[in-house]
Amino acid sequence: MSQPVSIAVVGSGYVGLVAAACFAEMGHSVICVDNDEAKVKLLRDGGVPIHEDYLPELLNRDRANKVEFTTDLRDASQRSQVIFIAVGTPQSKTGSADLSYVDAVASEIARSIDDYKVIVEKSTVPVYTNEWIRRVIERNGVPKELFDVASNPEFLREGTAVVDFLHPDRIVIGAENERAGMLLKSIYEPLTSGAYYRSAQSVPGCCGEKTPPPILLTSTKAAELIKHASNAFLAMKISFINVVGSICEAVGADVEEVSRGMGMDARIGPKFLRAGIGYGGSCFPKDVAAFRHVAEQLSIDFNLLKEVEGINHEQKQRFFQKVRSALWTFRGKRIGVLGLSFKGGTDDIRDSPALDIVEQLLKEGCTVSAFDPAAMNRAKDVIPASQQMRYVPDPYAAAEDADALLILSDWQEFGELDLDRLHYTLRYPIIIDGRNLYDPVKMAERDFTYLSVGRPSSHPAHDAAAAYRLP
């Protein structure tokens, strides 16, 4: 293994905190910087502010000697060879990425540079951000020979971010000179050489000593575009299969069979061909909008991405109408909801389709009982608990005496429920599944009225009215 590198990671969100923990796990010395004093204290005291598999274990293992947390960006920058910027780039009113946090961090880093540094974009940023960071640092009086700016986009999925970081499909490094590129390559050498995977404590995943991840060296502009283009393409796959699902519903076909047949084509692949209630989270919505904005600024027609966004919005409305068709009227109905995060495996509720649907149900006069394994505390900040909105401790409490049960996030445990208990607990055995976690035929055999996405509805094999447990 090459020599450990001293690293500063600015930002302790989903990207920054995972990067800091994984760099430390790879053997480097890491300082994680955040201006939120309460969060830094929580991390110093052993807390973990986000829900990610393996993250608590890595932080507990390395907190004592390989990773530290601070609010002092100047000190962290001076003590580090490489500084990763992993702050938020939220969507602005115009649809572009708001780079004000990146700008502020770059300015502060510039005021602390006294020897050679490599400043690395880790946040998702539009093309040309590298040049703007360079310009900001130069305007603060830093000589060109004392720094380089590089791009190292992340391709992490929330919920599996640690595994994705340590077992990546590819490592992309955008650098304009060999010095910066080689330093970044040395950071990832424990992965690319296979050395990390020899450790008994290594996080399990698809890579190994004989199958290390590939590394791709590009220009900084190409690296910036790879990230936005990748996310926009994946969002497009989701919107595409959701439209195909609507066609399947119209003709009585099963979208799961169609997506399986499509995914067997090596040119297409099976990933992100799951019909559902639409994409959400902190990446796809803003990255699609930001990439479209980049094209518009360059006078390039990328209306395809407008359609991707429009289909995603429409998909939530189609699902809501599916719920309406099953219940006829909403006012006074009791609805059980499973899932509040934008997908299973994370507590992130940003742009969550599930929350959008819950808010619509509440506006229509429903009473909602909701359960999520990780996201309820965050959801309460957006939709406070009330007589109309209850947060409950388990899936069966959500189903208690409900007129219907909605599955809105694809947590694994939601696909493994005790169906006999669920049937007894519900007032009416109606399940409306936005994530296609169950087999419609088997649900009918278990006396459920079952509606899903892109598949024919199924009803109890005998008289449907006999299946209802009246109060």
Each residue's pLDDT tens digit, 57-88 = 999 999 878 999 999 999 999 999 999 999 98
Write down how long the chain is: 471
Q: Which amino acid appears at position 244 of this protein?
A: V
- Indicate where the chain has its CATH 3.40.50.720 domain(s): 6-217, 316-467
Look at 84-98, 142-156, 191-205, 363-377 and tell me which has the smallest mean pLDDT: 84-98
Active site residues: 283
Look at 87-101, 192-206, 237-251, 350-364 and tell me which has the smallest mean pLDDT: 87-101
In this predicted structure, the answer to whether residue 89 has a pLDDT above a threshold of 60 is: yes
Q: Name the pLDDT band for 230 (thresholds 50, 70, 90).
A: very high
Token representation of residue 232: 């926009």
**Cβ–Cβ under 8 Å, residues 277 and 318:** no
**Cβ–Cβ under 8 Å, residues 364 and 432:** no
In whole angstroms, how large is the CA radius of gyration of the chain? 24
Distance CA 232, CA 288 (A): 5
Beta strands in 280-359 (DSSP E): 334-338
In this predicted structure, the answer to whether residue 208 has a pLDDT above a threshold of 50 is: yes
**Cβ–Cβ under 8 Å, residues 16 and 55:** no
Given the DSSP bridges, would you call strands 334-338 and 29-33 parallel, antiparallel or unpaired? unpaired
Token representation of residue 362: 């509440």
- Indicate where the chain has its CATH 1.10.1040.10 domain(s): 227-311
| pTM, full prediction | 0.91
Average the pLDDT over 442-446 and give the result.
94
Q: How far is CA 400 from CA 336, 387, 397, 405, in A?
A: 8, 15, 5, 9
In this predicted structure, the answer to whether residue 467 has a pLDDT above a threshold of 70 is: no
Q: What is the CATH number of domain 6-217?
A: 3.40.50.720
In this predicted structure, the answer to whether residue 95 has a pLDDT above a threshold of 80 is: no
Average the pLDDT over 273-288 and give the result.
93
Q: How far is CA 57 from CA 15, 21, 61, 76, 367, in A?
A: 17, 10, 6, 24, 39
pLDDT number for residue 462: 60
CA angle 158, 159, 163 (to 5 degrees): 95
- H/E segment holding residue 220: helix 220-251
Nearest C-alpha neighbor of 289 from the set 101, 129, 92, 102:
92
In this predicted structure, the answer to whether residue 468 has a pLDDT above a threshold of 60 is: no
Average the pLDDT over 109-136 and give the result.
91
Architecture of domain 227-311: Orthogonal Bundle (1.10)
Average the pLDDT over 122-145 and give the result.
90
Per CATH, which fold does 316-467 belong to? Answer: Rossmann fold (3.40.50)
